[in-house]
Amino acid sequence: MAIEHIKTGINGLDDMLNGGFPKGRAILVSGACGTGKTILSMQYIYNGIMNYAEPGIYVTFDEVPDKIRQDMLEFGWDLKELEKNNLLALVDATSARVGTTSEEVHALSPSQLDLDRLLVDILRIANKIGAKRLVIDSIPAMAFQLEKESEIRRAILKMVYVLSKKDLTTIMTSEIPEQSSGLGLPQQFSKFEVEEYVADGVIVMSFLGTGSTAIRTIYVRKMRGSKHDADMHPLEITPQGIIVKRIEDAFK
């Protein structure tokens, strides 16, 4: 039986993915600061709602929802309107993480910052709005209370299993240091170096070059159960969001 794919709706990325993300799988999106992880993740959610009638949940551990709403208006994405219509749930986990209260409709309390309570909350919201897409931004922030690698691996494994049973197609983000392939050092794909083994797919976003000549790039490190383009492609952040370009267009 062929694996069903969920289109991201991101110009050029679905071509790299042979049609999109495998349905119900968890995809790790890794990159250094400023590479476009949050934009790609929200574009995936927004396109799902607008183009494919698939409501979504965005759980933020790194930024307060109001700032995300403001930032996404730069691309013409009115998240408040989608929230009003129960098509999008922005879950504030940042406030609980830093120990402050939240006025958001969907928010975690400090007592809910363990994985089991988080999953219960995600599944409750998914049932309420009929969510098909989910973003966890980010795994390092979510796992800040865990100390041992074995605990982190177990937590991520459990999360991936539970979400896949619910048929949610999930992006998990992870920030990694800026890396250079010319130094002879092993490449890092995640904060704890276990996430890439648990995730069904790994997408790496980075910068190529420095200063005014630097370009953003993206490549698919792995995608279980699906053929994919393994070449590094340039990407551009436009007023409409991310566009993945052809390799031959990189230096035009």
**For the residues of 183-246, what is the DSSP string, one character each?**
G-PPP--SSSS-HHHHSSEEEEEEEESSGGG-EEEEEEEEETTS----S-EEEEEETTEEEE--
Cα 51 from chain centroid (whole Å): 18
Residues 6+ apart with CB under 8 A from 70: none
The whole domain housing 26 covers 5-249
Task: Give the number of domains in the chain.
Answer: 1
Q: What is the pLDDT of residue 180?
A: 52
Q: At what angle do helices 37-52 and 65-72 cross, to 10 degrees?
A: 70
84-123 pLDDT per residue, tens: 999 999 999 999 888 888 999 999 887 767 888 899 999 9
Residue 215 vs residue 113, higher pLDDT: 215
CATH (domain of 124):
3.40.50.300
pTM for the whole structure: 0.93
